[in-house]
């Protein structure tokens, strides 16, 4: 099976890997490079229908993961490429088959390509339609949180809320001690929202199952199960009410 590969990586950062794919003999039908961060990578995937996407999250600032609607039945295998270990979180949520650094040995890229080939090679057309979406469906119960010592895997349902603190992000759990992540909440928001957390403020995401009360006031606040209170911005209020199925009364 000859693979069609779409390289959504920087030509500068991923030049060595891209050149290896272009000059590799056998097993590859086509290699295309997409660098335009202004265009929708999701639309490009839908248009070209590649078998494999070599994906650098810096190309589109993680928009591919935020969208997560890459194609239909024939979802491509995704190989994530980055030197930033925090993007392992994105790779995990996307269901990437492999994770490489920019300076990874080319034989690791070959291994990732072969792993992709084994995952997407259909036994027959009918089996392809039924199996491939399941292979790459993101996990909605487990969230990977990159910390300095590695990656913490936590049950999403145990997270009470997430708070941005300047260049850091604090994750508060029901029972466990908080975790501090060394990136801004803006970097994590697309993936965390896709995992079921609700953004109610520029600096706050909450797990709606742990909200105990909506407190009235000039600025509405949420009372969480652990006693914390979280402000709700006006721009996110309608989204909150829709999530808890509250219909506001019209002003008389």
* Per-residue model confidence (pLDDT) at position 126: 34
| Stretch (H or E) spanning 78 | strand 77-81
Phi-psi group of 70: left, alpha or beta (phi > 0 → left; psi -120 to 50 → alpha; rest → beta): beta
Dihedral angle of Cα 53, 55, 179, 184, to the nearest 10 degrees:
-140
Q: How far is CA 70 from the centre of its chain?
A: 12
- Positions of the chain with pLDDT lower than 50, given as ranges: 69-73, 122-139, 249-252
Could you give all domains of the chain from N- to C-terminal order, each with its CATH number?
3-135 (3.40.50.2300), 142-243 (2.40.50.1020)
* Per-residue model confidence (pLDDT) at position 39: 62
CB 77 within 8 Å of CB 45: no
* Per-residue model confidence (pLDDT) at position 146: 77
* Per-residue model confidence (pLDDT) at position 4: 87
CB 190 within 8 Å of CB 65: yes
* Per-residue model confidence (pLDDT) at position 121: 60
Candidates 214, 241, 211, 243; CA nearest to 226 is 211
* Per-residue model confidence (pLDDT) at position 23: 85
Q: Which residue has the tokens 């990586």?
A: 9
């Amino acid at each position: 099976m000859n693979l069609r590969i779409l390289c959504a990586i920087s030509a500068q950062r991923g030049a060595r890997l891209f050149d290896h794919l272009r000059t590799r003999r056998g097993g590859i039908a086509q290699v295309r490079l997409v660098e335009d961060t202004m265009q929708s990578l999701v639309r490009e995937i839908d248009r070209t229908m590649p078998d494999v996407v070599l994906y650098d999250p810096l190309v589109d600032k993680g928009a591919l993961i935020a969208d997560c609607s890459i194609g239909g039945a024939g979802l491509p295998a995704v190989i994530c490429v980055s030197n930033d270990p925090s993007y392992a979180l994105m790779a995990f949520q996307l269901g990437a088959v492999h994770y490489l650094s920019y300076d990874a040995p080319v034989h690791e890229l070959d291994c990732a390509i072969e792993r992709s080939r084994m995952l997407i090679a259909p036994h027959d057309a009918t089996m392809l339609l039924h199996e491939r979406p399941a292979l790459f469906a993101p996990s909605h119960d487990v969230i990977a949180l990159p910390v300095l010592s590695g990656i913490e895997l936590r049950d999403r349902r145990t997270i009470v809320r997430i708070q941005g603190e300047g260049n850091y992000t604090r994750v508060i759990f029901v029972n466990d001690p908080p975790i501090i992540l060394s990136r801004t909440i803006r970097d994590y928001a697309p993936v965390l929202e896709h995992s079921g957390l609700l953004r109610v403020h520029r600096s706050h995401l909450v797990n709606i199952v742990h909200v105990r009360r909506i407190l009235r006031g000039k600025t509405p606040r949420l009372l969480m199960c652990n006693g914390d209170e979280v402000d709700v911005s006006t721009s996110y209020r309608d989204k909150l009410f829709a999530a808890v199925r509250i219909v506001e009364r019209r002003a008389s």
